[in-house]
């Protein structure tokens, strides 16, 4: 008596999904795993660095904006306003 291979298409225990559905399911699982690794990387590597260097980045951006404002004032022929003294509340 011949035994039937358990992986035959007529085996009820075999996954009943169509091949494209199975591939889609596997792709979804891989995407989900990749997303979890990406989130972990952002939380473990990027966020702490931004927290450490965030104030430096803001100061650098403020200096660039100040230079841009001066150039705009120069082109418009205006005299830029004097910066407020340190410690004085901003309007």
Instruction: State CA 88 to chain mean position distance.
Output: 37
* Greater pLDDT, 60 or 14: 60
Q: Show Cβ contacts of residue 90 under 8 Å, excluding neighbours closer than 6 positions.
A: 84
Q: pLDDT at position 65, please?
A: 92
* pLDDT attached to residue 50: 85
Q: Which pTM value belongs to this model?
A: 0.44
pLDDT tens readout for residues 10-49: 554 455 668 899 999 999 999 999 999 999 999 999 899 8
What's the confidence (pLDDT) of residue 9? 54
Q: What's the confidence (pLDDT) of residue 13?
A: 47
Q: What share of the chain is helix, strand, coil (3-state, %, to 5)?
A: 65, 0, 35
């Amino acid at each position: 008596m011949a035994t039937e291979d358990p992986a035959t298409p007529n085996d009820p225990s075999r996954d009943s999904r169509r091949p494209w559905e199975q591939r889609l399911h596997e792709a979804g699982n891989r995407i989900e795993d990749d997303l979890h690794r990406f989130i972990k990387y952002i939380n473990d590597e990027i966020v702490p660095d931004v927290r450490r260097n965030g104030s430096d980045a803001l100061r650098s951006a403020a200096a660039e904006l100040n230079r841009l404002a001066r150039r705009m004032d120069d082109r418009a022929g205006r005299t830029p306003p004097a910066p407020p003294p340190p410690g004085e509340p901003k309007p």
